Structure 1
Amino acid sequence: MSKAARVQVKKDFVKFFRSGYPLINNDAIQNPNVLKVEGSIIDLVDEKGSFLAKGYYGIQNKGRGWVLSFNPNEVIDQAFFEDKIKLALSARKPLFEDPDTTAFRVFNGEGDGVGGLTIDYYDGYYVISWYSEGIYTFKDEIIQSLKNVAEIKGIYEKKRFDSKGTYIEDDDFVSGERASFPLIVKENGIKFAVYLNEGAMVGVFLDQKDVRRTIRDKYANSKSVLNTFSYTGAFSVAAALGGATKTTSVDLANRSKSKTIEQFSINNIDYEAQDIIVEDVFHYFKYAVKKQLGFDMVILDPPSFARSKKHTFSAGKDYPDLLKQAIAITNKNGVIVASTNCSTFGMNKFKGFIDKAFKESGEKYNILEEYSLPKDFKTSKDFKEGNYLKVVFIKKEG
């Protein structure tokens, strides 16, 4: 193995690495000219040359790599990755043993010790997501490590990077046997059809498992439910299984309708008794106000950033306005499930958005409960932004 490049950390950032911070930000590097080949091992040092951490160089958004170890003698090889993956699988043992759940995350980036890498499990099949060219250079070692410690039907991969640092969808089968699609998986007894060969989004977002279960078990019974930015209708399925009188799913993507019909059908729910609407959510809100429609539950789970022909949405700027539109069509004593996966702000700021929206709407509210990432999405206490998910159940007081 070639000698690690010595990367000097700026004085103001040294304390972060000494406290365990795993992300190597571009702004923290004093001598970026030493970073030449993605995937190379780097030693972070302070201004006196004292060792801080060992990591790899890989461009991911504003990051330039991830810390892998705080031990100067650590060797980054297949045995290193195998130990990390084995430990992660062991921590998910209860999920592997749960017959009602056959889809979950088994390796969550920096939370399990290797930033830029995630591995998801779908009923015997593993999907590896690579978030930089840097981590992808370790592909052979990581795949072999996974094969050594797990029982595997097949492996798929998602390369969520290109030379410009943006996502691509050159996603495909890697090894083992190919899955038959749709692959039907379970989550807390709910069935979902997934397609591991259809780009970055396979059909269900696994980080919302706790929220779906809560909607089904505690809030949906005898309620009319509006699910906005509905994707494949996973929240709607959970609500219908929980006894909702009717669900309305709204998403701009044309494929959302057929995908949502499929999810209802595999759960033996009559999709014709539900409303599945392909439309800009912002247009639908205006329509609902005009028609004086009201819902007992409104689910808001927009992408962090979205653009349609007439609207651009940024969670950090526009969420309060989106929430105000939801408040307007939520019945008295109804519940709004406000969710965001935006990592640029925390729960306190998100609650500030909620407070702002209700005050400007002239309505009172009560926070019923809140959620962040489920246990299988392990996070690092030293990297709070890694716990990106924020979900708040809000009651609109009558």
Structure 2
Amino acid sequence: MIDVILKKGKEKAAMLHHPWIFSGAIDKIKGKPENGEIVKVCSGASEFLAYAYYNAESRVALRLMEWNESKTIDKSWYQLKLRDAIASRQHLLNENTNTCRLVFSEADFLPGLIVDKYADFLSLQILSSGMENAKQELIEILIEELNPRGIFDKSDAGARKHENLEATQGLLWGETPPEFIEVKENGITYHINIADGQKSGFYCDQRDNRDILAAYSKDKNVLDCFCYSGGFTLNSLKQGAAHVTSVDSSALAIETLKHNLELNGLEASRQESIQSDVNKQLRVFKEEGKKFDVIVLDPPKYAPSRSALDRAARAYKDLNRLGMLLLEKGGILATFSCSGAVDMETFKQIIAWAALDAGREVQILKQFHQPEDHPVRVSFPEGEYLKGLLLRVL
């Protein structure tokens, strides 16, 4: 195995079990490892630190995965890690919920691997060259452990470019998923489209937050922005919302939402779907003098990296300012950021700026987080990407 020697003073992150080592921390490499090859990471004194995937094309040149030198990274190692990850989520699956994230990359010591369960199908995302090399072994293990009807490749994320990998999508094993897979979450039925849907097919990271927000929706007039397939909309209607207006720019999202309303027997008279750019639509509502009791703002990732933070902060501030202006006095705003570069304290500051510009006083009632099938390792705080605030706007 090829040794990668770190510069003096750059060992600390590895010793603290942070899984990323950037290229600038490398002093020398004893050989020429291929991208995705497993290497031995050592200190300047040639002391073992960890085993890692190597990639010369990526800023994150080393993705650390095992800190015990006596371990061997082989199929048995992958099987043990997958078994541990799957077992830790079993209690989340029941007659009311048959979808969740089974593997969450670095959080489960499998850097660059995401596996989502949708009823009897699995969606696989591979975002690192090391996991790409292990793909066939991973598929074999998933078949053995879970016996799914099919495994679908959803490795079309832009992050693969950083590893010099091309986007891929398609059937990996078993049955081709139907146009709509029927899943249940918190007792609500969804038809989701893996092939054409966003992300890996469904935003299961909002499972807990949808349930929390729904409790504030009874008899209320709700606005669900960036509604996608209707998670917040359906939960609010189920909990007795008087009316929900759902906005998304995607025609497929609106079509899927309408389908999911019918699937759950929810009255169409209590819901309106609008295909439009959310920011433009919020301005239209403002011009019309519309007001809402509850507003959900769950936008896409505005800050894919720290270099985009300033621009993203302005976008989040303007979005939340518009939302606050559309709320009745004492109304509820559930606002989210899925940008890992925006931490909770920064997000709170953005909300404070938005409140100042809107001329509204705002109280924080709760903080939203990603659910337990998206765990955060204390040695890898970057894994905490989803954050949100439940606000009362006065």
Give me the TM-score of the superposition, normalised by structure 2. Answer: 0.91
Alignment correspondent of 1:85: 82
Residue correspondence of structure 1 range 1-398 to structure 2 within 5 A = 3=1, 5-31=2-28, 36-58=33-55, 62-96=59-93, 98-159=94-155, 160=157, 162=160, 165=163, 170-198=168-196, 201=199, 203-216=201-214, 218-271=215-268, 273-305=270-302, 314-397=311-394
Alpha-carbon distance in structure 1 between the residues aligned to 2:106 and 2:270: 43
1:166-190 deviation per Cα after TM superposition (whole angstroms, max 9, x unaligned): 8865311111233333111001101
Range with bigger deviation, 379-388 or 152-161: 152-161
Structure 1's 164 and 269: CA in aligned 2 closer, same or farther, altered over 3 A? same
The alpha-carbon distance between structure 1 residues 337 and 133, as it changes in their structure 2 partners (threshold 3 A), is same
Q: Per-residue deviation at 1:381?
A: 0.9
Q: Give the whole-Å Cα distance in 1 for the aligned partners of 2:241 and 2:376.
A: 33
CA deviation string 1:338-395 (max 9, x = no partner): 1011001211111111122212322211111112111111221100110111011001
CA contact (8 A) 1:60 1:132 kept: no
What is the aligned residue count? 388
Which portions of structure 1, spanning 4 or more consecutive aligned residues, are displaced by more than 4 angstroms?
A: 32-36, 58-61, 161-169
- The residue type paired with residue 63 of structure 1 is V
Is contact 1:7-1:29 (8 Å) kept? yes
Which shifted more, 252-261 or 238-247? 252-261
SS in 1 for 2:154: strand
Three-state SS of the structure 2 residue aligned to 1:370 is strand
CA deviation string 1:92-148 (max 9, x = no partner)? 12123x110000011111111111101111112111110123311101111122222
Contact 1:77 1:141 (8 Å CA) reproduced: no
Identify which range, 329-338 or 160-169, moves more after superposition: 160-169
Counterpart secondary structure, 2:11: helix
C-alpha RMSD of the superposition: 2.4
Q: Answer yes or no: is the 8 Å Cα contact 2:38–2:130 preserved in 1.
A: no
Residues 267-305 of structure 1: per-residue CA shift (max 9 Å, x gap): 112335422111111111211111111111111111123
Fraction of identical pairs, as percent: 26
Q: TM-score under structure 1 normalisation? A: 0.90
From the superposition, tell whether residues 224 and 56 of structure 1 become closer, same or farther in structure 2 (CA, over 3 Å): same
Shift of 1:162: 4.9
Distance in 1 (CA, whole Å) between partners of 2:107 and 2:162 is 26
Q: CA deviation at 1:25?
A: 2.4
Structure 2 distance, partners of 1:155, 1:71, is 31
Change (3 A) 1:267 1:369: same
Q: Which consecutive unaligned segments of at least 5 residues does structure 2 have?
A: 304-309
Letter in structure 2 aligned against 1:195: N
Distance in structure 2 (CA, Å) of the matches to 1:383 and 1:238: 32
